[in-house]
Amino acid sequence: MPEPAPAPETPQFETAEYQGVTTPDWCRTCKQTVVGTYYRVKGEMACASCAEVAKGKAPAGSHGAFARAVVFGGFAAVAGLVLYAAVAIITGWMIGYVSLAVGFIIGKAMMMGSRGLGGRRYQITALALTYAAVSLAAIPIALSDYIGNDTSPQSAQVQQQASPESAPAADQGEQQMTLAKATGSLLLFGLASPFLSLADPVHGFIGLIILFVGLQIAWKITAGSEVPEVEGPYNV
Ligand SMILES: [Zn+2]
């Protein structure tokens, strides 16, 4: 029975090796182990070659980073709009605390898209996206109210008669015009909705303040800096 003898030694050796691999001396950019000297790029450990890349390519690479931040922020804005509208429709809350979450997820998504780069144009974009998401959420909320209040069989009949299949061709162009006009008015109504809600001064004012705080959250998250700060070299 020679097997049990090496057994205690093997795990010890593996443990030692495992501990060696998990030391924090690895480049956060290329994931490789850092030997000798290291740098810090925005506070994160980086190897010499990644630090060089970060130093040299930052201004050139920042355009792609901004484009990615806008795309990520756009998706987050759509998600925020859906979240805001869903919470309002389901809970019937009149005060938009969800504005805070919308500002947060848009800011975070943009920073994820830019991989940590920020700056004034990121902040302005984050403000616009947060405002658009929160204000346009008023459209599905208003439509849900409208559908909820108008479920009579007569209105269903009218809708059936007005369906595109049964409409003569001449009316279709007119319908498209009406649809475009209706969409335009809906967008205007949505964008103005945070201020229209001042018709109910108390709720409207509180809603505006919360929206303002949500905008501030998005603004702060995307502050960052255009160029990553590279520090070092340090010894491991
Ligand atoms: Zn590296």
Tell me what pLDDT residue 57 has: 61
Per-residue HEC secondary structure of 116-153 comes to CCCCHHHHHHHHHHHHHHHHHCHHHHHHHHHHHHCCCH
Tell whether the model's pLDDT for residue 219 goes beyond 70. Answer: yes
Show me where the domains of the chain are located. 22-57, 62-221
Distance 54 CA to ligand 1 centre (A): 10
> How buried is 135 (Cβ within 10 angstroms: 0-12 exposed, 13-18 middle, 19+ buried)?
buried
- 116 conformational bin, left if phi > 0, alpha if psi -120 to 50, beta if neither: left
Distance 30 CA to ligand 1 centre (A): 4
Distance 17 CA to ligand 1 centre (A): 22
**Cα 191 to Cα 195: distance, rounded to the nearest angstrom:** 9
Tell me what pLDDT residue 224 has: 80
Higher-confidence position of 33 and 227 = 33
Instruction: Report if pTM > 0.75.
Output: no
Tell whether the model's pLDDT for residue 14 goes beyond 60. Answer: no
Distance 149 CA to ligand 1 centre (A): 60
Tell me what pLDDT residue 6 has: 46
Q: Do you find a cis peptide bond into 233, omega within 30 degrees of 0?
A: yes
Q: Which residues contact 44 (CB under 8 A, 6 or more apart)?
A: 28, 29
CA-wise closest residue to 211 among 135, 159, 142, 115: 135
Tell whether the model's pLDDT for residue 181 goes beyond 80. Answer: yes
**Cα 106 to Cα 78: distance, rounded to the nearest angstrom:** 9
Alpha carbon distance, N-terminus to C-terminus of the chain: 46
Distance 15 CA to ligand 1 centre (A): 26
What is the percent of the chain where pLDDT is above 90?
35
Higher-confidence position of 205 and 103 = 103
Two structure tokens written together for 141:
């909320």
Distance 105 CA to ligand 1 centre (A): 29
Distance 37 CA to ligand 1 centre (A): 12
Tell whether the model's pLDDT for residue 150 goes beyond 80. Answer: no
Tell whether the model's pLDDT for residue 176 goes beyond 70. Answer: yes
Distance 45 CA to ligand 1 centre (A): 9
Tell me what pLDDT residue 161 has: 47
Tell whether the model's pLDDT for residue 20 goes beyond 60. Answer: no
Mean of the per-residue pLDDT values of the chain:
80
Distance 100 CA to ligand 1 centre (A): 36
Tell whether the model's pLDDT for residue 8 goes beyond 50. Answer: no
CA–centroid distance for 143 within its chain: 25
Two structure tokens written together for 96:
């938009």
Distance 65 CA to ligand 1 centre (A): 19
Give pLDDT tens digits for 81-94: 999 999 988 887 76
Tell me what pLDDT residue 81 has: 96
